[in-house]
Amino acid sequence: AQTVTQSQPEMSVQEAETVTLSCTYDTSENNYYLFWYKQPPSRQMILVIRQEAYKQQNATENRFSVNFQKAAKSFSLKISDSQLGDTAMYFCAFMKDPNNTDKLIFGTGTRLQVFP
């Protein structure tokens, strides 16, 4: 069974600084998807970034980028130039390749606080 581990329950960063959130996962699959979702106080779940395992290039979305290490089964999220609006819970998630549709599994989350 697949598992997702987020070992940092809480993180804090000063505005404009950079922060990295950690995520590791366990799977025997070769093809799969990894995600980072953001949950602000509004409770809404928002996709931040997505990585396909067959792609070696790390995904980036504006100030958000990932460090995907397939052999180490690591998928960290880097937030550059942190903004107050980045304050939220961040969840790492895993899913098998869509051709083998299966459960979307989440980690326990990291609560990020951005300070002025």
Q: Interior CA angle at 67 toward 63 and 68, to 5°? A: 135
Residue tagged 């290039």 (tokens) = 57
The first and second tokens of residue 30, run together, are 């070769």
Q: Which residue from 20, 27, 78, 106 is in contact with other proteins, where contact means CB under 8 A? A: 106
Is 95 one of the binding residues for other proteins (CB under 8 A)?
yes
Is 109 one of the binding residues for other proteins (CB under 8 A)?
yes
Is 16 one of the binding residues for other proteins (CB under 8 A)?
no
Is 84 one of the binding residues for other proteins (CB under 8 A)?
no
CB 20 within 8 A of CB 36: no
For the chain, counts of helices (H) and of strands (E)? 0, 12
Q: Which residue from 20, 27, 52, 70 is in contact with other proteins, where contact means CB under 8 A? A: 52
Interacting residue ranges for other proteins, rule: CB under 8 A: 6, 9, 33, 35, 37, 43-45, 47, 50, 52, 91, 93, 95, 98, 101, 103-109
